Amino acid sequence: MTNGPDPKKPDEPKSSDTSGAKSSDTSAPTGDEALEALERQFHAREQTMRDGPERAADGNAHADGHAGAEGNAHGQADAGAASEADLDGDAGVAGDADDPDAIDRVALRSTHLGRRLARRRGYAIEARQRKPRKLFGNWSLLILSLVGAWGLASVWPEFSYWISSGPPRDLGRMGAYQIESVPDGSYVKVQGVASPKRGSWSRLFTDHEVFPLIASRILVDRRQAPDPGLKGYGFIYQGEGRLSIVEVDGRWAGVREQFAQAGEVSKDGPLVVIEDGLVPRKGARVPAEVALWLALVLVPLAVLVRRHRAPAP
């Protein structure tokens, strides 16, 4: 028995590349094709509603055929079932199942593709209104209000002094000063002899002169530049103003340290500063500051309340 060539196997029929064709058919359609498919489906639904039960089967079969073909073509196999479910559900919500136009309008609004189709068919679609941009958010307004409250609290002692009434309290004169029983922020008057050792400083482009009264625990701060002709000499001082206790008002701690090093005042014990010229209800700076800080508190709060009470869009 000779070994002959292997018998040839019969040629197998070549299978057609249906998957390739199917995949080529399932390429993503354009937006117009999808709109056309959805429109045909809605037309079939309308025709079914108008013609009655006798043509319901034919109309649904026609709609399902087009919806299934186009749905497979662009990857939306469940478009027909989902759209019909939306139609039935929305029609029930609308409360007018006998009006196909009403069903059509409700269903078209349910999806983005349906809204595009509704615009093509002339149905009214409400445009999405953009919310107005807010210059300040709620947290920013709350922070502004808190800053205003802090500023109002810082200026409140000066405002309390500004609205006070009554004559000034007399602190006495050299050798008979009485400062222990006078509260901080009182309106007082005093007279004595200014020390030859004086200092100066400026605030908001305003020059100030600071000096102690001889044989006392009193410093005087007055709004004027030192007189060069009195440099190295003492002079008689008499004035009135607001009293500040150094232990309470920390602004004057550095001034006390400098005069203590010069030997003019004691490092320990009570010490007061008289701000010369600060008379109650005189000048507009203090009420203007209070009005500014108060507005910074109230305006943000008013905006927050208005936003809270405003109806939702």
Domain boundaries, the chain: 28-121, 166-279
pLDDT, tens only, 74-108? 444 344 444 444 434 443 434 444 455 554 555 55
* Alpha-carbon gap, residue 105 to 125, rounded angstroms: 9
Q: Which two tokens stand for residue 61?
A: 């079969």
pLDDT, tens only, 16-67? 444 444 444 445 556 667 667 777 777 777 677 666 555 544 544 444 544 4
Residue type, 267: K
For residue 238, the cross-strand partners are 191
CATH number of 166-279: 2.40.50
Residue 153: pLDDT over 60: yes
Residue 307: pLDDT over 80: yes
What is residue 221's three-state secondary structure?
A: strand
What is residue 190's three-state secondary structure?
A: strand
Supply the pTM of this predicted model.
0.52
